[in-house]
């Protein structure tokens, strides 16, 4: 085994984040843009890089997080909203990127190490476990809520490389977020932007260096 392909979950294996947010906001008294501004404000308040980091870093529980979103919606937009079922509604969207899943299976069948790295809140671990048969899909599943570190922290990539049993330069992360791709590269990995419209390009890039037999740091974008 000479390669390790690590995929993100939300936004790569599932529809892009913005598409998921649009689906969630349908029929709600607030827009995607309003929700985004609230998440940004909460991130800034807690000195986090983004609104989800507040949740998946364990700074707030899910209900504390949604309560802060409700407060922001009321204060900023005079919107009275109940987000207590946000997690349940979010996970009810079970659409998957079938082309990406097929590619992951093809690489794994060919002897490539295939793993998943996800920044996941502890509150959502049960929903994640029920989403798919992860053992059938992956050699390793690394979740931030289990490890106490999250992408793009270097510690996450060092741990993942040790789990693959391969040197850093033989590992590649496919992620929809630029900060996570950059974090992988800082760790000596290759990084590929994937998910949504970037799925085909990501598959082609990984296919190319799997065939030639090497993954080189910075060789993919």
Per-residue pLDDT of the chain (221 residues; tens, 9 = 90+): 588 999 999 999 999 988 989 999 999 999 999 999 999 999 999 999 888 899 988 899 999 999 999 999 999 999 999 999 999 999 999 999 999 999 999 999 999 999 999 999 999 999 999 999 999 999 999 999 999 999 999 999 999 999 999 999 999 999 999 999 999 999 999 999 999 999 999 999 999 877 755 544 444 44
Indicate the DSSP class of residue 94. Answer: -
Give the Cβ contact number of residue 109 at 10 Å: 9
Residue 172 near residue 9 (C-beta atoms within 8 A): no
User: Per the confidence metrics, is the pTM higher than 0.85?
Assistant: yes
Pinpoint the alpha helices (H) of 144-198: 144-147, 154-164, 178-186
- Please say whether the beta carbons of 55 and 123 come within 8 A: yes
Q: Do residues 182 and 152 lie in contact, with contact meaning Cβ atoms separated by under 8 Å? A: yes
Residue with the two structure tokens 């922290």: 153
């Amino acid at each position: 085994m000479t390669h390790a392909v690590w995929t993100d979950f939300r936004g790569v294996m599932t529809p892009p984040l913005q598409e998921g947010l649009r689906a969630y906001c349908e029929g709600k008294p607030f827009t995607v843009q309003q929700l985004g501004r609230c998440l940004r404000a909460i991130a800034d308040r807690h000195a986090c890089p983004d609104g989800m980091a507040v949740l998946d870093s364990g700074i707030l529980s899910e209900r504390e997080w949604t309560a802060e979103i409700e407060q922001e919606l009321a204060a900023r937009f005079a919107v009275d909203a109940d987000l207590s079922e946000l997690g349940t509604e979010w996970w009810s969207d079970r659409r998957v990127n079938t082309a990406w899943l097929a590619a992951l299976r093809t690489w794994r069948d060919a002897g490539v190490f295939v793993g998943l790295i996800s920044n996941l809140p502890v509150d959502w671990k049960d929903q994640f476990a029920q989403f798919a048969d992860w053992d059938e899909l992956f050699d390793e599943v690394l979740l931030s809520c289990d490890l106490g570190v999250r992408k793009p922290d270097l510690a996450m990539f060092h741990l993942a490389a040790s789990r693959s049993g391969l040197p850093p330069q033989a590992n590649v992360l496919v992620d929809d977020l630029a900060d996570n791709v950059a974090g992988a590269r800082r760790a000596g990995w290759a990084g590929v932007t994937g998910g949504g419209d970037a799925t085909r390009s990501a598959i082609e890039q990984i296919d190319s260096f799997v065939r030639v037999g090497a993954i080189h740091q910075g060789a993919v974008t």
